[in-house]
Amino acid sequence: MPLPAQTATEIYDAAFRAGLRPDPVLTVSEWADRYRRLSGKSSAEPGPWRTDRTPYLREIMDSLSPTSPVERVVVMKGAQLGFTEAGNNWVGYVIHKSPGPMMVVQPTVELAKRNSKQRIDPLIEESEALRELVKPARSRDSGNTVLSKEFPGGVLVMTGANSAVGLRSMAVRYLFLDEVDAYPGDVDGEGDPINLAFARTRTFSRRKVFMVSTPLITGWSRIEAAYQESDQRRYWVPCPHCGEYQVLRFERLRWPKGEPQKAAYYCIACEQPIFNHQKNTMLARGEWRPEAAGDGRTRGYHLSSLYSPVGWYSWERVAEDWEKAQGDVERLKSFVNLVLGESWQERGEAPDWELLYARREDYAIGTAPQGGLFLTAGADVQRDRIEVEVVAWGRGKESWSVDYRVLMGDTARPEVWRQLSALLDEEFPHASGLRLPIRVLCVDSGFNPHLTYEWVQQHPQASWGPAGARAPSPKTAVAIKGTARTDRLVLGASPVDSSRRRGTRLWTLGTPVAKSELYSRLRLTPPTEESGEPFPAGYCHFPRYEEEYFRQLTAESLVKGHWVVAPNRRNEALDCRVYARAAASIYGIDRFTEKHWRELEQLLSTPVTETEAPASPPIRPVRRRMVSSNWMKR
């Protein structure tokens, strides 16, 4: 009877048809969740792949799926985010579900070989579906070598960007360019390796290009240039406290200096701390949002290591690595590239000290020129000295450095503090012939809080509190502490927590705000003498100080939102200037109207002495009106 044979054929046919029936169209992430296994050899978390572990990779992988209209996917990223495996998932998907010619380019042929052995071989061996399709390189007639893997319907070729021969080897539908910022600028005299590789995709209308890299140098970074041409997506995640969506930025990560284990992320909306362990829920609810129009076919993704999932690279480690990098340009550079996923600006943002030194002016040190209408001072406390700058302020916050003094002496002993008191009692000659007192002196409490409070207690103090504004006397002393807050320059005063020092308040300063403001003012250009134009608002004048002063004033630069001191540079002059600026703010300069300036000018043009003028500057909470309209008049 032919029945068994027929049955056998039918069974065989049915099985054959079932085997060929396409799966419902899978995306790359769905494929990975179903078929991908991570090898214990190459992964810290071996076992089945879960896209939920790195939710930000889902959209990126799915843009590489045949169902997506996206042609080019550009990823600029930090380390420890899982992008290598995302690329491998795409390779696996192509072999299994969407075969065609594919090329994977590493910076060098050597790296391509290593990647093949350490990443691609385990990818194929660990996933049953792939193992059946790619014969091992060692079997005869497999058609496979370290750098070439054949599979039904396609071939995977791996090469290095340093090999023009490799890049020109064949036409490809799928092109994976890995770590492009490490590619040579020119390969074998044939031009840019990326252009060479792109040229191989021309014959395919439904091609896909995946370009991934950690960026290196600003202006030279290929990945940054490609990202800028894209639709520039960033990953927005919700605050666990208030739900506000935001992009994670390094400047919102804060910790007490020297204690990176206390690092927390501060929400941009509610300012509440978010801890590393809360990150995964944020990532799960995240979404990619474009910031530019792009060309419609290219999607760009930027992701820093701040997004690294819980258990991989924590915010505490970010803080620790940042601290370790201080004073070491190479480590800072690595931090910016590998952690922030941003390119390194070779030149810092500090103004050149030489320029400032070259345009010093001839007014006498210790005197205030005509435009300077009131004085403040800022004092920086060190172990063996106190450094103080006296600054005159005028309209438009134009400023003149009046004097810079270094008071030598052990700050644990009273002598040097007595010198500071004597300085606060001095009056400085003004171009009008009058003498000006220091209105407010801010002294840094960071080095020795208790001694600072004790000293401040001996002098008139500024305060604002529930009782309303109290007009301080001239020669007001203020204890101040710098913070990393970026929202305001002077943040307010809180009572010092000690019954013995009742009435002493500690003022806090948003140091980054003050430094950024100062550096933008130091970059202002003075008018030419012929033009006869006034100096721009905010311009900073200096007398003939020594070089060292200008070196210190420009010692820091803003690196990705954090201020860092250049190696082998001191920065006391910068700190003093920032405290003197805070003192001007406490005196009221940020709220001055025309009326206030005119009153200050009248005071200096009328032949009165300081003792006759009941000068009571406005120290007030921001939201309140000035106490009186004639606070400067007799």
Query: Binding residues for Zn ion, per CB under 5 A?
Result: 239, 241-242, 244, 267, 269-270
Length of the chain: 634
Nearest residue (CB) to Zn ion, 210 versus 266: 266
> Tokens 């005299």 sit at which residue?
189
Q: How far is the CB of 262 from Zn ion (least distance, A)?
A: 19
Nearest residue (CB) to Zn ion, 212 versus 484: 484
User: Under 8 Å CB-to-CB from 483, ≥6 apart: which residues?
Assistant: 491, 508, 509, 510, 511
Q: How far is the CB of 245 from Zn ion (least distance, A)?
A: 10
Q: How far is the CB of 239 from Zn ion (least distance, A)?
A: 3
Please give the single-letter amino acid code of residue 558: L
Q: How far is the CB of 151 from Zn ion (least distance, A)?
A: 49
Nearest residue (CB) to Zn ion, 283 versus 469: 283
Kindly give the pairing relationship between strand 233-238 and strand 298-303. Answer: parallel
Please give the single-letter amino acid code of residue 330: E
Q: Where do the DSSP E strands lie in 35-117?
A: 37-38, 47-48, 72-77, 101-106
Could you give phi then psi for residue 253, rounded to 5 degrees?
A: -90, 120
| 8 A C-beta contact, residue 588 and residue 439 | no
Q: How far is the CB of 287 from Zn ion (least distance, A)?
A: 17
| 8 A C-beta contact, residue 373 and residue 394 | yes
Q: How far is the CB of 310 from Zn ion (least distance, A)?
A: 19
DSSP state of 145: B
Torsion region of 509: left, alpha or beta (phi above 0 gives left; psi -120 to 50 gives alpha): beta
Nearest residue (CB) to Zn ion, 269 versus 537: 269
Q: 476 has which bridge partners?
A: 440
Nearest residue (CB) to Zn ion, 274 versus 583: 274
Nearest residue (CB) to Zn ion, 279 versus 505: 279
Cβ neighbours, 10 Å, residue 116 = 21
Q: How far is the CB of 417 from Zn ion (least distance, A)?
A: 43
Nearest residue (CB) to Zn ion, 268 versus 365: 268
Nearest residue (CB) to Zn ion, 244 versus 410: 244
Q: How far is the CB of 76 from Zn ion (least distance, A)?
A: 27
Q: How far is the CB of 278 from Zn ion (least distance, A)?
A: 11
Nearest residue (CB) to Zn ion, 225 versus 268: 268
CA angle 405, 444, 568 (to 5 degrees): 65
Kindly give the pairing relationship between strand 101-106 and strand 174-178. Answer: parallel
Nearest residue (CB) to Zn ion, 273 versus 348: 273
What's the N-to-C CA distance of the chain in angstroms?
127
Q: How far is the CB of 243 from Zn ion (least distance, A)?
A: 7
Cβ neighbours, 10 Å, residue 18 = 8
Q: How far is the CB of 205 from Zn ion (least distance, A)?
A: 46
| 8 A C-beta contact, residue 289 and residue 233 | yes
d(CA 112, CA 160): 6
Nearest residue (CB) to Zn ion, 169 versus 278: 278
d(CA 454, CA 161): 66
Nearest residue (CB) to Zn ion, 23 versus 244: 244
Return the structure tokens found at 535.
């100096």
The secondary structure of 560-617 as a DSSP string is TTEEEEPTT---HHHHHHHHHHHHHHHHTGGG--HHHHHHHHHHHHSS--TTTS----
d(CA 539, CA 527): 10
Q: How far is the CB of 315 from Zn ion (least distance, A)?
A: 16
From the list 370, 386, 313, 375, the residue with the least C-alpha distance to 78 is 313
Q: How far is the CB of 242 from Zn ion (least distance, A)?
A: 3
Kindly give the pairing relationship between strand 562-565 and strand 556-559. Answer: antiparallel
Nearest residue (CB) to Zn ion, 266 versus 288: 266
Nearest residue (CB) to Zn ion, 245 versus 631: 245
d(CA 8, CA 248): 62
d(CA 608, CA 612): 6
Kindly give the pairing relationship between strand 399-408 and strand 540-541. Answer: parallel
Q: How far is the CB of 365 from Zn ion (least distance, A)?
A: 49
Q: How far is the CB of 486 from Zn ion (least distance, A)?
A: 16
User: Under 8 Å CB-to-CB from 57, ≥6 apart: which residues?
Assistant: 29, 51, 82, 83, 86
CA angle 594, 587, 520 (to 5 degrees): 75
Sign of the four-CA dihedral 247, 250, 251, 256: positive
Nearest residue (CB) to Zn ion, 267 versus 479: 267
> Tokens 């005196």 sit at which residue?
587
